[in-house]
Amino acid sequence: MTEMVTSKESSLVLVGKKVPRVDAVGKVTGAIRYVADYNFPGMIYGKTLHSTVPHAKIKKIDVSEALKLDGVVAIITGKDIPFEGMYGYVIPDEEVLARDKVRFWGQGIAVVGAISEEIAEKALKLIKVEYEELPAVFDPEEAMKEGAPQVNIKERNIIAELHTKKGDVERAFKEADIVIEREFRTQRVEHCYLEPDAVVVIPKGKHLDVISNAQYAFFTRQYLAQVLNLPLSRIRLLVPTIGGSFGGKDSSAIWITARAALLALKTGRPVKMVFSREDVMMETTKRHPFIMKYKIAATKDGRIIGLKALNIADGGAFSGTSPFVIFRAHVHSTGPYDIPNVEVDTYAVYTNNPPSGSMRGFGSPQVNIAIDGIIDELAYELGMDPFEVKYKNLIKQGSITMTGQELTGHKVSIRELSEIARKLSNWEEKRKEFEKESGRYKKGIGIANGIRGVSLGGEMPEFATGQVIVNADGSVTIACGLQDPGQGARTVLSQIVAEDLGVSMDVVNYLELDTTITPDPLLTTASRATIMGGNALLNATRQIKDRMAGVAAKLLNTDKEKIVFKNGFVFDKDNPDKKIEFRNLARQCLFSGVNLTAVGVFVAPPLTWDPATGTGTTYFTFAYFTNVAEVTVDTETGEVRVDRVYSIHDSGRIVNPNTARGQVYGGVSFGIGYALFEEFKMKDGVPQQFNFDKYKILSAEQVPEIIVKFVENPDPNGPYGAKSLAEPALDTVACAIMDAIRHAIGKRIYSLPATPDKVLKALRGD
């Protein structure tokens, strides 16, 4: 595996350097504690009873026999929840435990609290539930039809919808030299984080201490307070190290936390709940499956002049984050391509499948499969090189997106990245070489380009907060609610703070999240931790530096504007010998009554997105990336092996090449699994996999050679020019693999994953 950086020269000391992760030693030695490692005297254990039907009225829940079991302390059902309504991010349609109706197989309906997990498990088997089964619907297209069973609170089962028109689409299709139409499908995917959902709740009189691995801590606390009818001030939520999430510890974190809290309030005892892998598989949210019908119009030389697209996302039984997911999918439906005439319709739909929710990529990986795939097909229809057709249509500086946003204010670098990928992979030579090969094994190469809106975008409020404290000895404490489920945010944000204060990383401590003292920075999602958290923390450090500079100027007998912070010293830029150690200055400031604590806030530039018209500015800046994949296909077994991936990224300034490289390796591996292996299978609403014995993910020996190149174009919107990387690392990897398979066998697989069975069917022409 190789990593290269094309970097703009800078005088930065820590930003841009391969600083070791701040949590590395604790993780590899086992010193770090995860939620399941916490224990308290008198603690009991909670286990959830899950529905065994996908759609039904609950007529009766009989817990009498379970309560008789020695060691059972308490049992709760939906009737024990103080809040009588429903809750949700956008639409109030979720329940912590089903009260009157179950909406998907596996939904929680009761919780046992017992002195051991084994006793709790035995008690679950003694609970009797009487159902009146209802008609169910599992296909999103069927769910949209008139007369379909109503899954949740909205008629027509439409969770959310968006519609955008740009230019004159009908005219474009009439004037086109070629029109092609294709349907693409992507699958339901499990997050596969190693640490399952877990929580410990400790009742303290009228207050609750909650130790949770929730990815969105402040949202979890907000909905917990709502469900329990408690003020936020009565709930303290702490988040230790998180063992992976990828967006998954979202809705399920609220469910498990509220269930444990209800047991704790009922019994007055600490409660621990740790999901088994089976619990995670059957109840937690999955990546949205998409149905995408795309129609494209082009001239004979490969210039795209029109696109019609229909995206239908299966949202499952609850709306959750579906409105946000389809927003991102919708506005990325044209990818990084400049198409003058566009008509896109996007829907999220209720079904009686498990709820869909946040997952790395958040709607972009699905629509990228469609837009990249149909342009790749256009190239084959025209007898042209796919690179040439894609490159010809790429956006450039000043291009107008499908929603009418002009791409200005940052470097639109996708053409540069695509050219680098072409040269680095020896594209033309390999296309010719692979096409000459004959025999059982066929090789192919594919290229996919990408654009990703940075941070939340759209109508979401867009701000972040962070607190910085300079202590009396010159050490620095950071409190920021943007969490680190494994991506390295604590390290990168510590580097940014240390760089600005001119201190070493050794004296910086990034606190674990505690909602009583940590400022709320909104969500840890949308690859926003570096750009939003970094900007907020820089706001805080610069307040502190301004105060310290005033004291330093007096001590050094110089002007405040001349004060520089670097390498552990504070000095006069015109006379560097006039200096004071940072730690000594910190002591002077504190003993002089100068406050060295500051809360920084960063509010993103305003947007003009209008969901009613599907137009306006959608993000304040964008990241760009190109992936090239090489594959070998065994034409006798249908097995596909990814041999090599070239992953080229412009994510602004790379704060830490080590963590950045790790992000790309992880994203590429994620994308390979998405393309070839992973699928959370359902049959009539019932999951068909409950553990990793049947759910296939990429293994270590299947990871190919990965060549990573970062092209740094520092973004004026980001801290030291940095912006998003985590999700761009995944977004078009599967697209490039699917294109490479198309090149190898001469047929496209239109539904993910490209299993051996699908490859063989394509080869047979089935």
C-alpha count within 13 angstroms, C-beta hemisphere, residue 559: 4
* Interval 247-257 mean pLDDT: 94
pLDDT of 6 higher than 70: no
Q: If you search the block for the tokens 């299966």, which residue do you land on?
A: 314
Q: Which helix (H) or strand (E) holds 645?
A: strand 640-650
Instruction: Take residue 161 and report the two structure tokens written for it.
Output: 């919808």
- The more confident residue out of 154 and 414 is 414
Burial 675-707 (b: 16+ CB within 10 A, else e): bbbbbbebeebbbebbeeeebeebeeeeebebb
322, 157 contact by CB (below 8 A): no
**Whole-angstrom Cα distance, residue 716 to residue 475?**
29
Q: What is the pLDDT of residues 582-620, one digit of tens each?
A: 999 999 999 999 999 999 999 999 999 999 999 999 999
The most distant pair of C-alpha atoms in the chain lies apart, rounded to whole Å, by: 84
Residues 6+ apart with CB under 8 A from 19: 491, 495, 505, 656, 658
Task: Show the CA angle centred on residue 391, arms to residues 623 and 640, nearest 5°.
Answer: 80
* Interval 240-263 mean pLDDT: 95
Which residue from 502, 486, 462, 499 is spatially nearest to 582, judged by alpha carbons?
502
Q: What is the pLDDT of residue 522?
A: 83
pLDDT of 511 higher than 60: yes
**Whole-angstrom Cα distance, residue 408 to residue 398?**
6
pLDDT of 128 higher than 60: yes
Give strand ranges (E) for 271-396: 271-274, 290-298, 304-316, 342-350
Q: If you search the block for the tokens 């474009």, which residue do you land on?
A: 172
The single-letter code of the amino acid at 388 is E
- The side-by-side arrangement of strands in the sheet containing 597-603 is 508-510, 476-479, 463-470, 597-603
Q: What is the pLDDT of residue 265?
A: 97
**Whole-angstrom Cα distance, residue 578 to residue 379?**
66
- The side-by-side arrangement of strands in the sheet containing 101-102 is 101-102, 56-62, 128-133
Which residue from 748, 732, 758 is spatially nearest to 671, judged by alpha carbons?
732
The single-letter code of the amino acid at 267 is T
**Whole-angstrom Cα distance, residue 190 to residue 679?**
8
**Whole-angstrom Cα distance, residue 730 to residue 735?**
10
Which residue from 350, 346, 363 is spatially nearest to 287, judged by alpha carbons?
363
Q: What is the pLDDT of residue 7?
A: 54
Which residue from 512, 163, 205, 455 is spatially nearest to 331, judged by alpha carbons?
163
Instruction: Take residue 709 and report the two structure tokens written for it.
Output: 């190149």
Q: What is the pLDDT of residues 387-438, one digit of tens each?
A: 999 999 999 999 999 999 999 999 999 999 999 999 999 999 999 999 998 8
Q: What is the pLDDT of residues 693-735, one digit of tens each?
A: 999 999 999 999 999 999 999 999 999 999 999 999 999 999 9
Q: What is the pLDDT of residue 47?
A: 98
3-state SS of the chain: helix, strand, coil percent to 5?
30, 30, 40
DSSP SS3 for 763: helix
Q: Which helix (H) or strand (E) holds 427?
A: helix 427-436
Q: How confident is the model at residue 154 (pLDDT cuts 50, 70, 90)?
A: confident
Task: Show the CA angle centred on residue 605, arms to residues 347 and 396, nearest 5°.
Answer: 70
Q: Which helix (H) or strand (E) holds 166?
A: strand 158-166
Which residue from 633, 741, 755 is spatially nearest to 386, judged by alpha carbons?
741
* Interval 732-744 mean pLDDT: 98
Q: If you search the block for the tokens 């294109």, which residue do you land on?
A: 739
Q: Which helix (H) or strand (E) holds 591?
A: helix 582-591
Q: What is the pLDDT of residues 257-282, one digit of tens each?
A: 999 999 999 999 999 999 999 999 99
* Interval 134-147 mean pLDDT: 97
Q: How confident is the model at residue 523 (pLDDT cuts 50, 70, 90)?
A: confident
**Whole-angstrom Cα distance, residue 359 to residue 352?**
20
256, 283 contact by CB (below 8 A): no
pLDDT of 242 higher than 90: yes
DSSP SS3 for 55: coil
Q: Where are the alpha helices (DSSP H) in 455-533?
A: 489-501
Mean pLDDT across the chain:
96
Which residue from 500, 566, 568, 565 is spatially nearest to 538, judged by alpha carbons?
500
Q: Where are the alpha helices (DSSP H) in 602-654?
A: none
The sign of the CA dihedral 189, 92, 279, 134 is negative
Which residue from 124, 115, 43 is spatially nearest to 77, judged by alpha carbons?
124
Q: What is the pLDDT of residue 3?
A: 53
316, 350 contact by CB (below 8 A): yes
Burial 570-601 (b: 16+ CB within 10 A, else e): bbbeeeeebbbebbebbebbbeeebebebebe
* Chain centroid offset of residue 564 CA: 38
Q: What is the pLDDT of residues 29-42, one digit of tens each?
A: 999 999 999 999 99
**Whole-angstrom Cα distance, residue 528 to residue 456?**
8
Rama region for 398: left / alpha / beta (φ>0; ψ in -120 to 50; rest): left
448, 435 contact by CB (below 8 A): no
**Whole-angstrom Cα distance, residue 124 to residue 65?**
10
| Omega prior to 714 cis, within 30 of 0 | no
| Omega prior to 41 cis, within 30 of 0 | no
pLDDT of 1 higher than 80: no
**Whole-angstrom Cα distance, residue 619 to residue 45?**
44
Give strand ranges (E) for 358-409: none
DSSP SS3 for 379: helix
334, 404 contact by CB (below 8 A): no
**Whole-angstrom Cα distance, residue 631 to residue 20?**
34
Q: How confident is the model at residue 5 (pLDDT cuts 50, 70, 90)?
A: low
All structural domains of the chain? 35-134+191-283 (3.90.1170.50), 137-189+286-384 (3.30.365.10), 463-603 (3.30.365.10)
Which residue from 368, 301, 289 is spatially nearest to 334, judged by alpha carbons?
368
pLDDT of 2 higher than 60: no
